[in-house]
Every structure is written in C-alpha cells, then in structure tokens.
Amino acid sequence: MPLYTEMPQLLAQVRIKRLGTAHEKNDVKWLRLMCDYSAEGVWNHRGAATSLARYPISDALAARILAWQNWYECMLGDETGAARWSDFFGTDFSEAGRTLAQAVKQELPDWTVVYFDDARWKEVYQQGLDRTDPKVRALYEYEMDRQPK
C-alpha cells in the first residue's frame, strides 16, 4: 500500500482526533470499511461516514486505514478520475482493504465488521446486475469472519 512514508503523520492525526472523541457506549457495535471522497474509510450502521477516532481500534490500525483511504483519494483525485478509474479497482486495493477489515475484526471480535469490496463491485457493475438486490449486494459487501479466510 503506498503512502507508508506518511505513517508518522497519520498516527499523529489519529492521536489528536482521539483527544476530543470517544466511542459512545450506546452506539451499535457495527462498522463498514469502505473508501469514498473526503472520508476516513469507516461508516456506521446508518450508512454515515464517521471518524476513525470514534472506534476502539489501535492507533496503528487507524493510521493504516487512513493510508488506504489516502490511496483511494490519490488514485481518483484528479477532476474526472477517468484516467485512472479503469486501473483503480484492481485486486491490490481490494486485498489491502480486506486485510484491514480482517484486522479490525480481530481487534473488535464482538462487532459486526462489513467490508465493501471495490473489485467485486466492479465485476457486478460490469455484468449489469441489479445492485439494489440484497443477494447481489452480498457479493461485494459482506461481513468479515473472525478468522481470515
């Protein structure tokens, strides 16, 4: 995954955010790992982008997730994204995300951890399948098991 040279800065960013934010005990123990523009790569059960600082994961893992999110933004960061879009949803990015989702699940074993797999989403999109069908959605957005497969 690129941008590991920025890891000290990302760790500092996570630690600063943690000072003012804490995980609320009444929150649902549910997290989706998925990149999007200007997000931190994590989403709550309502589908809203949230801050990594709200989740009880290690600072090191939070920084790795931010690096993965930065990778997404660097790949699609130009005005149209068209120049790199076709190459973006490859297995490297998706495998990195899946590895991160497995790491989150290992740190939060009693949580529901869902991963949005961009490579599988691309396959579904290219096949013209109905992405609103729950069975189709389960092909690219799925819950992580406790142990990596």
pLDDT 10s per residue in the chain (149 long)?
444 456 666 666 666 565 555 555 547 899 999 988 888 999 999 999 999 988 999 999 999 999 899 888 777 655 555 545 555 556 788 899 999 999 999 999 999 999 999 888 888 888 999 988 999 999 999 999 854 44
* 66: its two tokens: 């931010």
The tally of domains found in the chain comes to 1
Do the domain assignments include residue 149?
no
Do the domain assignments include residue 135?
yes
**Structural domain harbouring 91:** 4-143
Do the domain assignments include residue 104?
yes
Angle 57-48-12 from CA coordinates, rounded to 5°:
40
**Is 86 exposed, middle or buried, given 0-12, 13-18 or 19+ CB atoms closer than 10 A?**
exposed
Do the domain assignments include residue 128?
yes
Do the domain assignments include residue 48?
yes
Do the domain assignments include residue 73?
yes
Total Cβ atoms within 10 A of residue 43: 19
Tell me the pTM: 0.78
Do the domain assignments include residue 148?
no
